[in-house]
Amino acid sequence: MNARLRRGAATALSLHAAATVATPQTPYPILFVTQTPQTDDFTTVASSFGNHLAAPEFAARGGDLYLRYPDGTLRNLTAEAGFGSTGKNGFQDNHAIAVRDPAVSWDGTRAVFSMVVGAPSKRYEQGQWFWQLYEVSRLGRDQSVVITKVPHQPADANNVQPAYLSDGSLVFVSDRPRNGAAHLYPQRDEYEEAPTPTGLWRLDRVSGALSLLEHSPSGSFHPIIDSHGRLLFTRWDHLLRDQQNEDAGNDYGTFNYSGEEADSIPTGDRREVFPEPRTAAPGSGLQGLTMNHFFPWMVNQDGSSEETLNHVGRHELHDYFDRSLSGDPALREFIAATSRRRNPRGIANLFQLREDPRTPGRYVAIDAPEFGTFTSGQIVRFDAGPEVNPADIVIDYLTPRSTARLYSDDADVPAGFSGRFRDPLPLSDGRLLAAHTTQALTAHNEGSRENPLSRHAFHLTLLEPDAQGYLRPGEPLIDGGIGKSLSWWDPDVRVSYSGPLWELSPVEVRPRAVPPRTGFALAAPEQQAFAAERVDVEAFRRYLRANGLGLLVMRNVTSRDGADRQQPYNLRVPGGVRTAADAGKRYDVVHMQFFQGDLLRGIGRQGPGDTPKPGRRVLAQALHDPLAQAVNAPNPDGPAGSTAIAPDGSVAMVVPARRALAWQSTGADGTPVVRERYWIGVQPGEIRACDGCHGVNRENQAGVPAAQNVPAALRTLLARWRDGETDLIFADGNEER
């Protein structure tokens, strides 16, 4: 049966006032936002990336912060507190607001959220607006609500998707430049070179101290603190060369700046050095690298130990990806169907992660396409508490796989298609609430510029099981929906909309146990290295912090997870350790070359007189940070930014903190062997250790557990520091350099 959905189908919804009674009961009040519908799904408020932009064309004004009590009574909290336009016929003027991303405090008495205030009040008016953090309190039925702006936050940046840390401070997503330098604004992503957030930021609301917990070249999203105290979030990962830079004619006008400094200038150079090209040159022996996905990540609450959630990766979650070299027949494509992994159900992306309040370590998320659905898709579930080995993470499909897909206008939508979902919320009574749309087709404006009509209508819906064991839409949380009649300048055209608003971002207003505070911890092999060299760990960490540095330690880089046969895996250090899985081609690894993510790539410069677009894209450059290089031992025989691999396979390298980093092992002549596929960062004073590259889940390619050797390279570095052989003795700290 052809079940193609009619384009532009819209359900007639009644418009509700501020005290509506709906049928479903909930165990606690639900805080949520309304949003004027968007018609375009590229860097708009509900998009998968670039969703932090605050101009009205990216986040239409007119929404509010709502509280729904268990019996269905509604309160418009922002209106009660005096926020929002009250213009004639719903005109959105300089008092207009949009609201997003509520998160409830641990004691359940208040919530932090993001709001932008202002819109053009007359035709052609230009303006600059930013999402800012606000806190709402006095949420009881008999209390008058209070909304206050959070002090000390960056005023000239977009601050979105906040959450409370265990100590009451805030973590949030921001597009503030990683070092605060205005000339680097905005950071541009690695894919479309659209503006993107710079990562996760922490704000101490008492002292006003602001720090970058995690630097992301393409953006991090939706941070939460789980019951174990881990800071979880979705990160957009590429670590690939600039696709806008590939054409010989340079249609996009890409170029490299001479440096990151404020007085840096555009140059005629647009070279890139890492990783391998997106399209391999004939005869190069390379396969070419493209990578584009949204995975769950985690850091401690102090920003240390950044990695994918439980070290899960493409081998455990994706269905297919290619090998790195075409000239080695031992390397193979990864095909999940022919692998021996435990997880039988692959995903493409994971968005909007939430933990089940009744089962610690159990999470729900959305697997959605990158474009076209406003990040709505399939609801999935998996267990990934701290004790779960990544090889044991299994994805469960809570809604049919058809709900993860995007259907074009000429596609046949499967019969019985249940719609798509976003913002899943496991309730404390075991039920699941989510924003739901019946739409299957890609985002499109079914109206006009003056009278836009989005195909998508999102309404908060309680889900219920169907006969096939999946969840399907049940009762709507708000019977009849919430609607408004609105008008605004875009700024050239007067736009009008009258109808239902989207209902998004639900959270349960209830007290919760405060999770433990997580932070840096040094593992036993590295502790033994410090003890053997008689170096005090805390003294060395103070030295690193004072100079804005961290330390990366690898115990045995010849050891790789047994599932990874996509990059070279029969590795040896000449005259030292070797790890081999079979009799295939051997690779000598002699140097470890490090790269730092520099904001160098500009765009939009076609000729000498052209003005480039503001902001920069991150490019990988050989490690050249002067403070880091003053500590590291020279490696004259290796490529730029490298250190020698010790005979036991270990590596120790001092690196700049709060800056994205990557690395690759190379042969004696600097030819790359194994390349890192993810950006990783460290905090000032952090000593980050891993067992190898790629880290071992249970056994490496030779069937041996993860390396636990006391790394010789670390001992050598510590001895040099202890004996005063480093060029940098001490410096005043500058964590935003």
Average pLDDT over residues 24-44: 97
Task: Specify whether 480 is located in the same domain as 535.
Answer: no
459 found inside a domain: yes
Which is it for the CA torsion 308, 314, 315, 317, positive or negative? Answer: positive
Strand order in the sheet with 362-367: 351-355, 362-367, 378-383, 396-397
Please tell me the total count of domains within the chain.
2
Task: Specify whether 398 is located in the same domain as 546.
Answer: no
Confidence of residue 610 (pLDDT cuts 50, 70, 90): confident
735 found inside a domain: no
pLDDT in tens, 103-159: 999 999 999 999 999 999 999 999 999 999 999 999 999 999 999 999 999 999 999
CB 74 within 8 A of CB 16: yes
| pLDDT score at 4 | 32
Task: Specify whether 450 is located in the same domain as 595.
Answer: no
Instruction: Assess whether pLDDT exceeds 90 at residue 322.
Output: yes
Share of the chain above pLDDT 70, in %: 96
Average pLDDT over residues 624-646: 97
**Mean pLDDT over the full length of the chain:** 94
Distances (CA, A) of 498 to 3, 37, 523, 602, 663: 29, 10, 59, 41, 53
| pLDDT score at 497 | 97
259 found inside a domain: no
Instruction: Assess whether pLDDT exceeds 70 at residue 734.
Output: no
Task: Specify whether 386 is located in the same domain as 417.
Answer: yes
Q: How far apart are CA 166 and CA 180, in angstroms?
A: 26
Query: Among the three residues 508, 538, 572, which one is the final residue of a domain in this structure?
Result: 508
Average pLDDT over residues 324-338: 95
Please report how many Cα atoms fall inside a 13 Å half-sphere around the Cα of residue 228, on the Cβ side.
Answer: 20
589 found inside a domain: yes
| pLDDT score at 411 | 85
Instruction: Assess whether pLDDT exceeds 50 at residue 8.
Output: no
| pLDDT score at 729 | 54
Q: What CATH number does residue 148 fall under?
A: 2.120.10.30
Query: Among the three residues 456, 478, 508, which one is the final residue of a domain in this structure?
Result: 508
| pLDDT score at 16 | 40
Task: Specify whether 185 is located in the same domain as 311.
Answer: yes
Instruction: Assess whether pLDDT exceeds 90 at residue 731.
Output: no
Token output for 353: 């992660």
Instruction: Assess whether pLDDT exceeds 60 at residue 493.
Output: yes
571 found inside a domain: yes
| pLDDT score at 19 | 45
CB 90 within 8 A of CB 506: no
pLDDT in tens, 231-253: 999 999 999 999 999 988 899 99
| pLDDT score at 87 | 82
What's the predicted TM-score (pTM) here? Answer: 0.95
Task: Specify whether 489 is located in the same domain as 546.
Answer: no
With CA atoms as reference, report the closest residue to 210 among 220, 218, 221, 199.
199
Confidence of residue 6 (pLDDT cuts 50, 70, 90): very low
Token output for 44: 């708009």
Which is it for the CA torsion 703, 705, 709, 713, positive or negative? Answer: positive
pLDDT in tens, 153-192: 999 999 999 999 999 999 999 999 999 999 999 999 999 9
| pLDDT score at 728 | 63
Kindly give, in sequence order, each residue whose CB lies less than 8 Å from that of residue 12, ignoring residues fewer than 6 positions away. Answer: none
| pLDDT score at 395 | 98
Q: For 521, phi and psi rounded to 5 degrees? A: -145, 135
Q: For 533, phi and psi rounded to 5 degrees? A: -95, 5
Of 605 and 24, the structure prediction assigns the larger pLDDT to 24
pLDDT in tens, 691-712: 998 899 999 999 999 999 999 9
Average pLDDT over residues 454-481: 97
| Parent domain of 646 | 524-722
Task: Specify whether 489 is located in the same domain as 537.
Answer: no
519 found inside a domain: no
Average pLDDT over residues 554-570: 97
434 found inside a domain: yes
Kindly give, in sequence order, each residue whose CB lies less than 8 Å from that of residue 601, ignoring residues fewer than 6 positions away. Answer: 188, 193, 242, 245, 254, 255, 256, 257, 270, 616, 617, 618, 619
Confidence of residue 368 (pLDDT cuts 50, 70, 90): very high
Task: Specify whether 405 is located in the same domain as 542.
Answer: no
| pLDDT score at 15 | 39
With CA atoms as reference, report the closest residue to 297 among 357, 224, 189.
224
Confidence of residue 1 (pLDDT cuts 50, 70, 90): very low
Task: Specify whether 325 is located in the same domain as 443.
Answer: yes
For the chain, give the number of residues.
Answer: 737
Average pLDDT over residues 22-45: 94
With CA atoms as reference, report the closest residue to 431 among 374, 508, 516.
508
Query: Among the three residues 481, 508, 535, which one is the final residue of a domain in this structure?
Result: 508
Q: Are strands 471-476 and 459-465 parallel, antiparallel or unpaired?
A: antiparallel
Task: Specify whether 129 is located in the same domain as 230.
Answer: yes
245 found inside a domain: no
Of 214 and 13, the structure prediction assigns the larger pLDDT to 214
Average pLDDT over residues 460-479: 97
Task: Specify whether 481 is located in the same domain as 532.
Answer: no
| pLDDT score at 726 | 81
Task: Specify whether 391 is located in the same domain as 430.
Answer: yes
Strand partners, 378: 367
